[in-house]
Structure 1
Amino acid sequence: MYKDTINQTTDIKTCEGYHVPVLLDESISGLELKPGGVYVDVTFGGGGHSREILSRLSADAHLYSFDQDADAEQNIGEPDERFTFVRSNFRYLKNWMRYYGVEHIDGLLADLGVSSHHFDDAERGFSFRFDAPLDMRMNKRAGLTAADILATYDEERLADIFYIYGEMKNSRRIAAAVAKARQQNEIKTTKDFLAVVEPMFKREREKKDMARLFQALRIEVNHEMDALKEMLAAATEMLAPGGRLSVITYHSLEDRIVKNFMKAGNAEGKIEQDFFGRINTPYKTVGKLIIPSKEEQERNPRSRSAKLRVAAKI
């Protein structure tokens, strides 16, 4: 059904086991869909958001959905002329839209959370719940693995990653422990890594701190912050006037970047003013910050840290 090509038009079957879509109605309603518009879902995953978008579009509309993970292709079904799957990192949004002859889009949705599938797949190394190779690559075809990073980065660089991406206050102690341990044995698996870092954590906070440490490694492996900045810059350029940006974040680092883009049009949140002191910004914020309802959080615990922000291109 699906060959290893890029411009594949398909229908999609949501795989609830792969990933339960978060803030589904809220995020898509935020796009204020035009029946015949052109839209992009840069985080296809289990296909939940894409499927819902397509259900609200007419026959002359089109949806482009991105995912760099080959596993996501399992959630693609029968042909649909309105849908194109792009097997690529969303940082290349502008390049692919140019490839397809698309100059402007009417809306873009991003669910930046890691799919449940990745945490639950023991072989991928995303979770400390399983003993597995320390891989953590979203795209298994390229780049350094988490094990490569632990083996090759110097102690100061590791400390910076743990502090900036994991907000670990004891980042230098953790980095020093890694540097010392790897002189004796290679750190290849989650079990190897846990043996090194567990003594650094207080038992009452162990799971939360471990999750943040693994988050830091995953962000570095996949260059997530750089990719997010590049994608948002491309979206800002490509959105038509009135076009909507609907983004779900899960931690403060990415939420800050999204908030800054929506406020100022750049990742730093640097405000520019014209001669008369009026703020130059490409966006107008739509509504307030949205978080999952209590019912959704109970139904899907992994939605608890989700935040949805929506903005319209001016």
Structure 2
Amino acid sequence: MLEQEPQNADAQNDETGPPSDLDTVNQQLAAAYPELSPQLKLAAGYVLEHPVEIAFQSIRKSATAARVTASTLVRLAKRLGFDSYEQFREVFQSAVQASPVELSGRASNLRNLASQTDDQVFLDVGDAAFDNIGRLFTADTQARVRDAARMLLGAEKIAVVGFRDTFACAYHFAYVGRIAMPNIQLIRGQEGGLLTELAPFGEKDLVVAFGFEPYCGETVRALDIARANGVRPIVVTDTLRSPLVPGAAITFTVANATPHFFPSILSAITLIEVLLAECVAFGPDSLVDNVASFESRMREMGAYVSNE
């Protein structure tokens, strides 16, 4: 049977809007706790005691762990003034992502998960992956993808920046993107060459930068150099509090929460695929010709092995 909540249980809505930080959420939950219904108390107790799980887990898994229904978690979020559970959980994710990323601590958490059940790690990483990608496909993101694709198609040259944990993102964008758009260049910054590599880029150009907590000093430096030269940045990061955001023409904040010991790049890679697909879909016919020409060259050089 579905639990019944009093009519006024969800009526509390601070006129100043929902709390924007985790400390305030915890304070408001603690203050409201004595007046909550039994089901909302279960939900609130779990939220107060498991902030990391709320950030990482799907609503279904959190509800199961708290021994309530998903709708109860939604009601708890709305009681605090949030429009949705996703908005509520973003406060927890921002708090987790804004804290220093301690890889050893995450690795230890994986061992703890494994001690619960044999398949817990597998299921939790899978839940986080599906949820991160699901959060990417919104109407707001779609509009920004279209705007970013127009900017990319209109740029004379495109620099791509991402170091350490996000180098894989930058490399993937540059490698795949150059197949259709030869004006894309991966910035490596090796042996002190960051300034030299970025010097040719100016006001008619773009820089696409990737960076998650902990933010890489070289990426911030590259953006400073690019902006000083009038290059417009498109930034892919994890929160609007990121040091990569100031001065960006377009910012994408992608979810990277995961029980894995390293921040997930799955959403960023998916965003890259969407951006490049939009460019080819809405760009000139020459982009398709470039892809066909690349494939022909690779086959002629024996780059592909036939399975016949």
TM-score scaled by length of structure 2: 0.32
Higher strand share: 1
Q: Higher helix share goes to which structure?
A: 2
Question: TM-score of the superposition, structure 1-length normalised?
Answer: 0.31
**Larger C-alpha radius of gyration, 1 or 2?**
2
